[in-house]
Chain A
Amino acid sequence: MIPNHVLVVGPPHSGKLRIAQEIGEELESPTINQDSHSGLIFRKKLSTRYFSTNINILVDEYPGARADDVGSDSAKAKALEEWAGEFMSDEMTELRDALDGLIFCLDSNDKLEHLERCLEILESIRNVLTPEDAYAWPGFIVVVVNGLPEEDSCLAIEDLALVRGLECVNLKQSGYNEYNERLGLGRIKELFDSHEWSSTSNEVEEKPSTSNLYEQRKTVQIQSMTEPILAAEEKETNEEQPFELSEILQRLSLEKEKAAGMQNKEQKEAYVRKVIDEIIDYI
């Protein structure tokens, strides 16, 4: 099955790895580079009651290399613009076409002006993905923030995302809200479950139903009932009593003594043949 791809992108410490680790199951490379999380690929086998599919969660980070001093907002914005320029370039057309989803992580500690600029860039990315209609792209786009829901910055990001028609998820939240909507990572998982992936398989691992189990048990019972009893006994006998040469030799000497006592030559010959046949059968 061809895997589907989801890109998780954001600045350092914005929760990319947390999302990828929570949703993905297996990391392709054994170690995580501390300098940058760019290039990490997590694999996931998603199975619902309707379909199963393989997903690669691709992690990308801007700027390309981490520094102790994360820099000013203008430097961060420049790094994002560089990344977005590269992502929207013609060389990346194949990557864009292969994507089924884009998770855009934001650092809620950043200034609001910078976050607004980030969302503007994300909007321009969406316009590249779907030039004619903002919602025509078959993939999904989510903005993820990682800050306390009561914080002004988080509320502001949610508002900014909403006016652009983008869904915003806060990683610090969990459970359900008053509209019975899932929050936080639960919502991202729900999104993965309910997305129409470009490559899926209808083969779903079926749990054996009660009626199937009953039938299987009955079949096993019937099979045991139809086996020949004699053959089973012989098999058991053979298994329990392995071939013993000493016993045969002992029996041969006993039969020899018996045969020696016989007067009639023909009777003696017939008896010897019968004994030999029995021993051959036994062997």
Chain B
Amino acid sequence: MAIHFLFLLSRQGKIRLNKWYQTISQKEKTKVMRELTTLILLRRPKMCNVLEYKDIKVVYRRYASLFFIVGCDSDDNELLSLEIIHRFVELMDKMYGNVCELDIIFGFEKAYHVLDELLLDGVVQESLKKEVLKKVAQQDELENMDEFENIMV
């Protein structure tokens, strides 16, 4: 189960967060995101959450005003992708406390932190919510200590 990319899209077609687990050029990434934006925003709410795109499978799920979009191998289990998306949302919800689009826009570094602890090279590295949040909190603490030391110097 390897995820190729994950990105968050608003209903207005704005990319709020994107993470790539394959090495392709920025131009290619922009092209993929633009094409998927057009494809997904045109889909009605009750349509299937899985679609085929080139040689991969795209799985998406809408949460309030955001679409969480994941690209995975065509032989991967799409239900697992949906579960990963949901786990990511749950983690962010715990981290921010009732997460909303605005939290992700202005506190994007936290969202990336959570994602980095959840997925490594497109594969789930830690499924336990408590553990992910603990590690993110530890990193935050380290960062705060660094800032504090800089101030003291």
Contact = CB atoms under 8 A, between A and B. Distances in A.
Interface string A118-142: 0000000000000001110000110
Interface string A45-67: 00011110000000000000000
Contacts of A49: 102
A42 B51 CA distance: 43
Interface stretch (B60-68, B75-83, B125-133): B60-68
B24 interface: no
Q: Which size bracket describes the interface of B in this complex?
A: 20 to 34
B62 A165 contact: no
A165 B41 contact: yes
Interface string B34-77: 10011001101100000000000000001111000000000000
Contacts of A167: 11-12
Interface string B128-152: 0000000000000000000000000
A180 B63 contact: yes
Interface residues of A, number: 26
A133 B102 CA distance: 24
A50 B13 contact: no
A245 B63 CA distance: 81
B41 A194 contact: no
A196 B63 CA distance: 19
A134 B102 contact: no
B36 to A, nearest CB: 11
A25 B13 CA distance: 28
B102 A180 contact: no
B153 to A, nearest CB: 26
A182 B65 CA distance: 8
A196 B34 contact: no
B100 interface: yes
A193 interface: yes
A163 interface: yes
B42 A163 contact: yes
B13 A165 contact: yes
A165 B102 contact: no
A190 B41 contact: no
B64 A180 contact: yes
Given A134-B38, A140-B12, A167-B12, A182 B102 contact: no
B18 interface: no
